[in-house]
Amino acid sequence: MTDVKTIKAGESLEAITLPPVSRIDLIKYAGASGDFNPIHTIDEEATAAGLPGIIAHGMWTMGNLTKLFTPYLEDGLVTDYQIRFRGMVFLDDVVTLHATVKDRDEKTITFEIGASKQNGDTALKGEASTNYTALKKNNSQPVQT
């Protein structure tokens, strides 16, 4: 198990592979986010927009990246989050989330983060900084749920 108290630059958190993207995932996200752009939920609208099919909301993928940190840190302790979208995520894509330590000091760990698809294509990449001084249950290991 990764120990965030001692993790060093170049080391990674455990990657998380999401289940295949489903239409219901995107419908639920549309309802939660208020983003009802039909290219995310209706095949014909996505095709009419010149896409090969429905695409996941970029923010759906971005939001899932926080799953890398929630086993270790209390809510609100991701202090900075910067992302560049690199590719589209389609229905049935399997997305893997990853984070590697870029830098750390006495309170903050900065991670290079990203999401890649089953074919190896990058969906997004960026950086996230976390305040690791308030570990979940004062524990540096992931909390088992």
**Which of residues 35 and 144 earns the better pLDDT score?**
35
Q: Would you call 124 helix, strand, or coil by DSSP?
A: strand
Among candidate residues 121, 115, 123, the one with its CA nearest the CA of residue 98:
115
pLDDT of 131 reads: 83
**Which of residues 121 and 71 earns the better pLDDT score?**
121
Query: Is pLDDT above 90 for 143?
Result: no
Q: Which sign does the torsion angle of CA 99, 60, 17, 46 carry?
A: negative
What domains appear along the chain, each with residue ranges and CATH number? 16-136 (3.10.129.10)
The per-residue pLDDT for range 9-60, each reduced to its tens digit, is 999 999 999 999 999 999 999 999 999 999 999 999 999 999 999 999 999 9
β-sheet with 16-17: strand ranges across:
16-17, 95-104, 108-117, 122-131, 78-85
Query: Is pLDDT above 60 for 139?
Result: no
Task: Give the number of C-alpha atoms closer than 13 A to the C-alpha of residue 52, restricted to the C-beta side.
Answer: 4
The per-residue pLDDT for range 87-131, each reduced to its tens digit, is 999 999 999 999 999 999 988 999 999 999 999 999 999 999 988
Q: Please, are residues 138 and 73 in contact by the beta-carbon 8 Å criterion?
A: no
